[in-house]
Chains A and B, each alone.
Chain A
């Protein structure tokens, strides 16, 4: 019992249990594992930039999904007017949304940093409303999506046929995680951002320009989520309200992983993706997918709280 407790404490037991469960699931319902990892990758990919802002700047950006929506519209219109593939449009989206991030930070976020948290929430909620209404006025609520034949590429293994393109989200989430961790741990700006995230007053005392760090991190996050919007468009329709559900899912993932835990966001995303795909694989239980999503979230948060108390 003591051994189990010790293993559980170090996390090895949890990892082993997860691997065994995954292996059993892969034998029983292989498509659940494949599609769960794919959809979990999308959740994690979208959540990572939000986690960055929340971890460093300390603001819950309720306009997160709306920036992704604007990124998808940007890529769509670029593809219409220039013929540019949305995957390529990720590069200009990075630049344009970095500028949008700078403008948003300087005009709004910076002024609310010292305000009560509720005011910050209301501010970003207002930004979200403005963005979706802007999109509605500009492009109506009619969904838009370019035809891209590569998004339905598939592979056959025995009797199982599954899509391969959606792994782009899985790969994207892992690549973004690695990139962000390298940025935060290996670069000067990244180290400064980590210091600011942990203790802004202390960081200021040692000479770090806190305001500039906030600006860089906020702009980087908006640039990333704008580019992710272009990637999102390849497999989804864009319309004014497409982003808001992803704001909520991203926030839940971050809450599950713990603020500042970027790796946890990715593993949590995969876990939730697989849990959802598992529930959906049973006919007639599709409506339970959201329940499972939030049940896993509540269980993890309670489990973490229990571990903290017993530690």
Chain B
């Protein structure tokens, strides 16, 4: 009996030693490194990075990937193409990252593409919507893109407005007035929209955004007022959002549909009564958390970790970025490039943006994730999804009253 107990003790010690050795061996494994290049001074980059950190923390808390921890290395692009390109070199040569993820701005990304081609590592990019980027990455099998391309966005708005008009016959759009900021962002968006919305009578005029030293929109608003459009769409920056509403109210301009399309909304926009009924375009709205458990989990976890609310769709997009990569690594069981590409091609991830992410071909690349944007509306201080109807969180309010 005594010898039996001794054998058991020896056995237990041996098992403990073996488990300890395995654990130590696993702990000694270098982490899997994800290298991101985000503009940290901009809210899109700052919140996307936080969301990436949240995803990495969750994955590591659940045991990591392939018995290894996940490490996120982030370099600030400062929205500077030269710095963005240099960051790719640093991530590849100094940090030795396994996969590239991130980032924002088509201008920055265009400068990064030669460096990405030089290293040929698997890249899963969340921003850079310009179709010029798509042309630059044509034929690259290791390149995966999540954000819808500009023409996909345009097509989704056309589809969305057609569906809305069909569902709600009171809403009819024949004439559109586009007020677009005079820089590359506004001009290319407007030109793309002309092609997409060819069924409408489109009138456009540029304005100088507050972000570039402007901020007086009254002349363009007066011209729009003279045209009496069914829909007024301004394409500018967040800095223009409240002032343009206030100045429209000043001159008593209240089109039936008032649409804003900035990359990010200012913090207090929803608090203004003028925001009520304003239509927005975007990939996500906080209200999606009410219909999507993944979005709800993301929302609460993000607030718990950072004590702030996600305010841009780049936050859930950053979170999605890490999970798409992590699940592919898990499926591939290795970091071997061919296996990883094959695993990414099988992606089916229920994202906090509402949709399930899969990669399908777009015009020029084989791995395009999201296919379009959503049409949102500010109601009672919050953005609600009004289209696609399967993700709708509220009915549209019509017409805009500018109250």
Contacts and interface: CB of A to CB of B under 8 A. Distances in A.
A281 B42 CA distance: 34
Interface string B267-296: 110011110000000000000000000000
A83 interface: no
B249 A152 contact: yes
B207 interface: yes
A265 interface: no
Contact of B251 (A147, A149, A163, A165): A163
B71 interface: no
Interface string A231-248: 000011101111011101
Interface string B10-48: 000000000000000000000000000000011100100
Contacts of B8: none
A310 B271 CA distance: 60
A98 B103 CA distance: 41
Given A144-B267, A147-B268, A154-B251, A286 B205 contact: yes
Interface in B212-261: 212-213, 215-216, 218-220, 222-223, 237-243, 246-247, 249-252
A277 B205 CA distance: 15
B210 interface: yes
Interface in A138-172: 140-147, 149, 151-154, 156, 161-163, 165
Contacts of A290: 208
Given A236-B215, A241-B211, A286-B182, A142 B238 contact: yes
A248 B41 CA distance: 24
A165 to B, nearest CB: 8
Contacts of A237: 210, 215, 238-243, 266
A64 interface: no
A205 interface: no
B242 A147 contact: yes
A164 B311 CA distance: 33
A161 B251 contact: yes
Given A136-B41, A277-B219, A146 B212 contact: no
Nearest to A153: B250
Contact of A281 (B46, B212, B219): B219
Interface string B321-361: 00000000000000000000000000000000000000000
A286 B246 contact: no
Contact of A242 (B182, B222, B239, B252): B239
Contacts of A287: 182, 206
B196 to A, nearest CB: 22
A165 B238 CA distance: 22
A101 B268 CA distance: 30
B267 A142 contact: yes
Contact of B216 (A39, A146, A239, A241): A39
B120 interface: no
Contact of B208 (A241, A283, A286): A286
B250 A154 contact: yes
Contacts of A246: 213
B219 A235 contact: no
A245 B249 contact: no
A284 interface: yes
B267 to A, nearest CB: 6
B264 interface: yes
A280 interface: yes
Contact of B239 (A31, A136, A143, A235): A143
Interface residues of B, number: 42
A144 B267 CA distance: 6
A163 B247 CA distance: 8
A65 B24 CA distance: 58
B212 A245 contact: yes
Contact of A143 (B213, B241, B271, B272): B241
A142 B268 CA distance: 10
Contact of B210 (A35, A236, A244): A236
A290 B252 CA distance: 27
A4 interface: no
Nearest to A280: B219
Nearest to B275: A147
Contacts of B311: 142
A163 B43 contact: no
Contact of B246 (A143, A152, A156, A162): A152
A142 B266 contact: yes
B205 A283 contact: yes
Given A35-B218, A162-B251, A237-B238, A147 B205 contact: no
Contacts of A240: 41
A142 B41 contact: no
A154 B252 contact: yes
Contacts of B215: 236-237
A206 interface: no
B213 A245 contact: yes
A147 B271 contact: yes
B74 to A, nearest CB: 15
Nearest to B179: A286
A290 B209 CA distance: 13
B251 A140 contact: no
Contacts of B43: 140-142
B22 to A, nearest CB: 44
29 contacts: A35-B216, A140-B41, A140-B42, A142-B42, A143-B211, A143-B237, A143-B239, A143-B266, A145-B242, A145-B266, A147-B268, A147-B272, A147-B274, A151-B246, A154-B252, A161-B250, A163-B251, A236-B215, A236-B243, A237-B241, A237-B242, A237-B266, A239-B239, A244-B213, A249-B213, A280-B219, A281-B219, A283-B205, A286-B220
Interface of B: 41-43, 46, 182, 205-208, 210-213, 215-216, 218-220, 222-223, 237-243, 246-247, 249-252, 264, 266-268, 271-274, 311
